[in-house]
Structure 1
């Protein structure tokens, strides 16, 4: 299994030494690996969660359909004409224990079950409580999100950016790859609409690719025990164009089931997203009209602009104004 060397790697335990590297990764790539997050999110919990996720995604469709939307795309997504190899389960506001518990109730994710976990190359049969694992994982990833947000703010010398108040969406993904689908898309080229995404990728099955600034797609190879962070459209808006909203896709490269876990820091619940005053000056005029995350998300859906193009509709000098 190869490991990508192009994608920047950020050590969460090496700040403020990593501050300039973090900002450069956001500007040049719009994505980066994070390592040394184990105090907040241990590798053992990541492995437990992957086993639970696989069991949830293998549930009968009539149970998965109980996972209904709060906002469009936050619940169960069945294979579609656009993405026939992809399905997902999800929830809105993973920072809320009550919301996470409701997600578990929808999917009957409460009884203890026995699983065979491969830990340090030794097969160990453990009893996992599905609901407990999901709750602990959601809390741990939320802590990593807040930590990354704080480090971003500090690296830009900003005072008290309230990322911890922004809602977080959670999605578990399954790609049903077969011999016949090798070479096709698991999901289409897109950017994420929110601020940033923390991805626990499949440690065995590759396929994720990100676009660099030259327009070339770079494979993101599986790397056990690490997390990938992708910046979305809200990060570009918030940073006044300084941060890159990375385009990415998933390709089917082998006949295998691919599982990933994505956690999205979206944007403020009600306030419009706009750059902090420190990022707007005479040399850096405001590029985008302030907009709430919810209005921006609706605009992306209504225009079917899924790869960052919708930002052009809210440029400050744009003659196009969205009224949705």
Structure 2
């Protein structure tokens, strides 16, 4: 398993972080996001049940805003728009999904896979991981080995999916990842998905040229 860590992006440090964001998306297809402005008090209900409907609504709205901001900055880093504020026209009507994952790990399942290796089918996933029971691993594209993404309280993990690879004309990676059982305890995580447009997605014309023929369409 690879050592080190995935890139960290400070959302308050733009445009200085623009090049780092693009590099993270191209080489890794994922990064850790800090200073995202979602209150820690709102993130602290991760172990609570779905009966907290109103809290979930507030959280979902807040994390959707973060997703739209990230998408805009990615589009800006690729030269598709001149400022992330223009992203509203691109991503406004893209479908989104919110999901709470619960893994009933036991001492007998330690060392086994909770979720097999896969890529997400959508555009990007914003993950709030369990701060007490990790297990998320992402593939290091340079080695093909898996890297453990240790929990960091107050941060979010952003994974790019298949839709992002198509939309960017193959310029960004759709990260391969999995979940391993590290502790024999219940593990919970919250995943917010920006899925994609209602119609077929294809790369913007700015990303298609003789050196970069159209990647594919979905």
Deviation at 1:247, TM superposition (A): 0.5
- Residues 242-321 of structure 1 mapped to structure 2, 5 A cutoff: 242-269=171-198, 271-288=199-216, 290-291=217-218
Aligned length: 209
Q: Which residues of structure 1 form unaligned runs of 5+?
A: 57-108, 110-129, 292-324
**SS of equivalent to 2:114:** strand
Match of 1:115 in 2: none
Q: 1:147 aligns with which of 69, 76, 79?
A: 69
- Cα displacement (A) at 1:276: 0.7
Tell whether 2:142 aligns with 1:220: no
Q: Residue in 1 aligned with 2:30?
A: 31
Residue 155 of structure 1, CA deviation: 1.4
Aligned to 2:100: 172
Match of 1:147, SS? helix
SS of equivalent to 2:111 = coil
> 4+ residue runs of structure 1 moved beyond 6 angstroms?
none
Distance in 1 between residues matched to 2:54 and 2:203, nearest whole Å: 38
Deviation readout 1:22-59 (Å, 9 max, x if unpaired): 00000000000000012xx11110003x143xx23xxx
Unpaired runs of at least 5, structure 2: none
Cα RMSD of the aligned pairs, angstroms, is: 1.2
Contact 1:16 1:155 in 2 (8 A): no
SS at match of 2:134: coil
TM-score normalised by L of structure 2: 0.92
1:183 to 2:182 alignment: no
Is residue 43 from structure 1 mapped to residue 40 from structure 2 by the alignment?
A: yes
Aligned to 1:137: 59
- Where does residue 116 of structure 1 map in the other structure? none
In the alignment, the residues of structure 2 paired with residue 164 and residue 148 of structure 1 have an alpha-carbon distance, to the nearest angstrom, of 13
Higher relative contact order (CA 8 A, sep 6+): 2
How far did 1:206 drift? 1.1
SS at match of 1:132: helix
Give how far 1:5 is off: 4.4
Q: Deviations over 1:168-198 (max 9, x none)?
A: 1111001111111111110111100000000
Partner of 1:22: 21
Greater Rg by CA: 1
Q: How far does the alpha carbon of each residue in 1:99-144 deviate from its partner, in whole angstroms, 9 at most, with x for none?
A: xxxxxxxxxx3xxxxxxxxxxxxxxxxxxxx222011101101110
- TM-score, normalising length: structure 1: 0.63
